[in-house]
A and B are shown apart, each in its own frame.
Chain A
Amino acid sequence: MDSELESKREPERKGKKKTDTSTIFLLAVYALSMMFIILVVCGNFKS
């Protein structure tokens, strides 16, 4: 990310258990978003 944004980022919360749950959530939403992005581009190609 951009250095300007990096410097303004708030400290991230720590905690192992929380990170584990949040990792599953993160990867799930990332995969879901990626799937929709591919479908959007496929839709552009079709039309």
Chain B
Amino acid sequence: MKKFLHLLAIVILVIAIVYGHYVNKMDGNVIQNYYRQMLPSAASFEPINDKIARAMGAEGTVIAYLGVSSNVGYGGPMMVGTVLDPNGAVKSVIILEHKETPSYINKITQAGYFRQYMKKQAGDPLVLDYDLDRVSGATLSTRAIANSVQEVAHAVAEKGLNVTPKKAELPWQIGIKEIAVASLFIFSVFLPRFKGLAKYRLVLLGLSVAILGFWLNRSLSMGHISALFLGYFPSPRDNLIWYLVLFGALLPALLTGKNLYCTYVCPFCGLQEATHLVSRVNLPLGKYRIWFGRIKEIMLFLVLFLAFLFINPSFSSYEPFGTIFGLNGSSYQWYLLFVILLTSFFYRRFWCVAFCPVGTLLDKVALLSRKIKGVIGFSLEKKVRKVDGKVGL
């Protein structure tokens, strides 16, 4: 029965992902609607290619160039529209569709991020940290916007204005942040292998709270995992940490059959361990532990199902990681965080035990790995027995 339910859940998720992609397919009419939304005063739009167009006035003159482009932010692809005046100066930048946590978009808008574009010309390079300032705590979203605007502006420069755009060659971003994150995952693999090092688990978790939590705010969330299934991959050249966190958690679970991320790296687990260290109380969960485990599995299924159905990795994400580490969230996210942290003084790792969909998924991956190893081990054993039998004969 349990096997059948698991199989049914996987089939439903596959159907949801196919249906979501089919419903959200973009066509020419959708792009025309975007153009109309960006420049309602234009009489018509003459497409130059599938990305950019000329906006024509009532007298038949070009009143603007405009275009749309999509790049992957934190939660998934962001559709960004850019309007340029007939001389190629950027007039406006509009987020047409996004899958980011709404509070991050508010943060970008309130920080005045879009004002930076108003001084730029179509052929200018638009690289975050070089030509534009990032918004701290929303780096991936601001980078996705910058890349989208640059794609449209450079296409207008080349195809509409016959200007050669200045393109910046970006090196791989490997600095202190990337090295620090990679070190956390390397230690998490080595620590459990040596008995003498096991006592340093809390030290590693403390470092993770500082590095992956408060410094970088890049804990593994369901947004990462849904994005992986939906095929939304940010550029590894400037988003290496995204890959380090995702594969640093998944690969050890697959290869060792143990969920090392939750035990040794998760910064939110580290925070809950800190509350437990303060209180030293761990009340019994009793029979509810099993029920919480079952409900967590249903919650994991629902999170993935909604993300796939709406083609939006962060749509159903409810983890309070960004709220505590990015100090950014809706009022309900803050209430949730307060209740969870307060409860973890009495029930050790209450979030992990009762709600965490990331931990549930990593446990499933580790279990799958152990099962595969068991099957391979069993078939190898069978072969060896057969050979032994033949030798014996």
Q: Which residues of A contact B (CB under 8 A)?
A: 1-5, 8-10, 12-14, 18-19, 22-23, 25-27, 29-30, 32-33, 36-37, 39-41, 43-45, 47
Contact = CB atoms under 8 A, between A and B. Distances in A.
Nearest to A12: B284
Contacts of A1: 289, 293, 352-353, 359, 363
A13 B283 contact: yes
Given A2-B263, A33-B339, A22 B283 contact: yes
Nearest to A27: B288
Interface of B: 101-102, 192, 201, 258-260, 262-263, 281-286, 288-289, 292-293, 299, 306, 314-318, 330, 332-333, 335-336, 339-340, 342-343, 346-350, 352-355, 359, 362-363, 366
Contacts of A9: 282, 348
A9 B343 CA distance: 17
A28 to B, nearest CB: 10
Given A1-B363, A4-B259, A41-B318, A30 B292 contact: yes
Nearest to B105: A47
B292 A4 contact: no
15 contacts: A1-B352, A1-B363, A4-B263, A10-B282, A12-B283, A13-B284, A26-B283, A29-B339, A29-B342, A33-B340, A36-B339, A40-B330, A43-B102, A43-B330, A44-B315
What DSSP secondary structure best describes chain B's contact surface? Answer: helix
A27 B287 CA distance: 12
A25 to B, nearest CB: 7
A8 B286 CA distance: 17
A37 B350 CA distance: 14
B272 to A, nearest CB: 11
B258 A4 contact: yes
Nearest to A19: B284
Contact of B332 (A3, A14, A36, A47): A36
